[in-house]
Structures are given as C-alpha cells and as structure tokens.
Amino acid sequence: MVGLIQGAIVAVRSHYTSDVIISTLNNKTYIENSPEILGIVNSLPQVEGVTARYLEGGTLEANYKTRTNDKEKPNTAGASITGIDPVAEDEVTNLSKFIVEGEYLQPGDYDQVLLGAYLTQKYLPIDSPGFSTLRDVTPGTKIRIKVHDVEREVTIKGIIKAKVDEVSMRVFMVDSQLKSMIGRNDYNVDEISIKLAPNADPALVRDILKQNGVDKVAKVQTYTDAQPKFIKDMVDTFALLGNMLSSIGLVVASITIFIVIFINAITRRKFIGILKGIGINERAIEISYVMQSFFYALCGSVIGIIFLYAFLQPAIAAHPIDFPFSDGILVAPLGGTLLRIALLMVTTIIAGFIPARLIVRRNTLDSILGRK
C-alpha cells in the first residue's frame, strides 16, 4: 500500500523535480540572476546533471484551418509551454522514454513541439466546461500556440505520456524558440532541476545553495520539500493502514503459534506427565515449548527475509505494478522489517508459553492416565 504512493513520489523525483529543484518565488515571474545560480550549481561536486526550463502559460489551437463555422466550438486547450534544452532535459529526467507517438525533440527542432498526452482527447477523453483537450491531433499535425500576444504555428513532433502530471500536461519546445516568443533575452529561467550523483545528500546541496544566497531570489527545495501536502498526507495515511494490517498479521501469527503449540502439548500430555513423574522440572518443559515456538518464528522470518529481499523486492523494482497514476513498488525498509520480526519473536514466545503452561500445570497422574 505504501509502495503505491511511493511509486508516484519516485516518478516525480526521477522525471520532473529530480533531487533538488529551484523555482520562482511566489511574487516573481522568473528566477532572477539565473546565470549566476547555474554557475554555482555546476560548480558543486555533488551535481551530475542540470536542466533549466522556461515556463509560460499559453493557448493551443488545432484544426483552425478547417474550421468554417464561427459558431463551431474552437478546438483549443490551455497549457503550460515549457522551453527546454532537449539534451540536458533528457540527461536529467529521461524525458525521451515517455514518447508514445512520434519522436523526441532535437536541439535544432524549431517550430516543432512535444505535446503532453493529457492535452489530447485521445489520451484524456473527458468533457468538462472548465477543461478542454485537443481533438484529432497526431504527430505531424500543425497547431497554433499563442503566448501573450504572440502566435506561432508549430508541428507536433511527438506525444509524451508519463505518470507525472507536470510532464503529461505540458507542451515542450526548444528553449531558444520560447525565449524569442516571450521576449526574454536575459537568460533568466523559471525552473532548474538538479540531478545529484549517487549517494549525494539532497538536503546538503539545498543548504549549500541557500548559504550562497540562492534562496533570496528563488525557492530551493529537495524533492521531498517540493511534494504537495496532499501527497504527504496520503503517505502518512497509507503508512498507518499498513501498520494496522501488519498488526493484524502479527495477531494472526500469534494465534497460529498458540494453536500449534497447544495441540502439540495436548497430544503429548502423557509424555509430559511421565517427564514430570521422573523428576523433570516444570520450568524446563515450558522452556522447551517456548524454544519450539521461537524456532518456528525464526525459521519463518529467515525464509521470509530471503524471499523478500532476494527475489520479491528486486523483481517488483524491475517490473513495477502498472497502476493508472503510478508504478507501484514494494517498500520494505530493513529497519522496519527487523522491528516487525522482533515483535513477532516476542509475541511468539508469549504464545508458546501460555499453552505449555496450561498443560504442564495439570495433575501429573491425570496426564499419565489421560484423564481430563
């Protein structure tokens, strides 16, 4: 259950925010001093890749050449127009892997765009007064983009679909072309996603950037900081549900051990009576059954850990469960697993001791003769 949400978080980190994201302040329209900030970012040894994006709201229109009736509803959609360096973007977010139709952008692809799948009726067939999608568009279709008062006819080079709304609901074009459309010549961008080297700490890089004054002109966030509150609430909710189910599983396991030990002791009470009769201490008999239950729990835990970490987790990581809004993965932190095993051991010892104690306390002669 936790993996369902964790898969969405991993997707956003891998294909949009990366490890650290720098974005505009709430009262600004772009990141001021972007060239200096990019210089600081590229100088950090932890940084493996950087992509800078230009963002502007705009309107898309398709089939405008074949529209003959002014009363006919225009084939339009609102979208966030994103200017990127196709090579840098792909290195950081692997954007090209999400092309479902057509081809990925190249640095020289002027008047060509990647269209987010959720902006097309084919991939998002909804009819809402407040939200519209483009009808009858495919790679090769010409559409008209309007940003502010500037219009440009472009060709759809590819359709891009990812389980990240910020990807599937945007239009991507070469950054230099979008800059010319919005008249921005100062190289100030709107988003900077930073990919770090393996094992690098995103919080450390965030703090270094803040120490260099970047937070005075932009928001500096790790991928965790950038998560919306509802995502964090869903993570907490699913974690709570997961703990509840784990607790139920723990109770079921304890009851199972209790039944197994109780039946074992009942069927062997004659031998228990004989052991008591020849002078074996009751405590020693009880401990033997406790050790038996402990052995069952230990063997089951070892087999479970081997199956979980050697087979199940790698298999699901390589082939995630395909949910509509995320690729579900298996979340099983080693610390949490060991804690649950420790709790299982404790409850198993108690579950083994109680039935053994009930049988051992019976009258020795009654146990030997099989009397109730």
Q: Using the predicted structure, report yes or no on whether residue 370 has a pLDDT greater than 70.
A: no
For residues 63-71, average pLDDT: 74
Scanning the structure block, which residue is given the tokens 């699901």?
316
For residue 259, the tally of other CB atoms under 10 A from its CB is 12
- Among 22-31, 118-127, 313-322, the range with the most confident prediction by mean pLDDT is 22-31
What integer pLDDT is reported at residue 316 of this predicted model? 79
Query: If you average pLDDT over every residue of the chain, what do you get?
Result: 85
Kindly write down the DSSP assignment for every residue of 227-288, as one continuous string: S-HHHHHHHHHHHHHHHHHHHHHHHHHHHHHHHHHHHHHHHTHHHHHHHHHTT--HHHHHHH
The per-residue pLDDT for 51 is: 96
Mean pLDDT computed over 162-185: 90
Residues β-bridged to residue 221: 21
**How big is the chain, counted in residues?**
372
Statement: residue 82 has pLDDT above 90: yes
**For range 276-295, the mean pLDDT:** 80
Residues 227-262 have pLDDT tens digits of 877 777 777 787 788 778 878 888 888 888 788 777
Q: Say yes or no to pLDDT of 273 above 80.
A: no
Mean pLDDT of 33-38: 94
Per-residue tokens: 67 = 């529209």
Contact 84, 243 (CB under 8 A): no
Amino acid making up residue 316: I
Picking from 86-90, 136-140, 165-169, 258-262, which range would have the lowest pLDDT averaged per residue?
258-262
**More confident call, 372 vs 5:** 5
Residue 371 has pLDDT above 60, yes or no: no
- The DSSP call for residue 107 is T
Instruction: Look at residue 368 in the predicted model and tell me its pLDDT.
Output: 59
What pLDDT score was predicted for residue 367?
Answer: 57
The residues, any chain, with a CB within 8 Å of residue 106's CB and separated by 6 or more, are: 86
Decide the pairing of beta strands 170-174 and 75-84: parallel
The dihedral through the CA atoms of 259, 262, 267, 268 has a sign that is: positive
Please report which residue ranges of the chain form alpha helices under DSSP H: 2-12, 34-43, 86-93, 165-168, 175-182, 202-211, 229-267, 269-277, 282-307, 313-318, 334-360, 364-369
Burial of 58 (0-12, 13-18, 19+ CB in 10 A): buried
pLDDT digits (tens, 9 = 90+) for 132-142: 889 889 999 99
> Domains of the chain: which residue ranges?
16-226, 230-369
- Cβ pair 258, 351 in contact under 8 A: yes
Mean pLDDT for the stretch of residues 269-294: 78
- Which band of pLDDT confidence, cut at 50, 70 and 90, is reported for residue 68? low
| Dist. CA 66–CA 73, nearest whole Å | 12
What pLDDT is attached to residue 280? 76
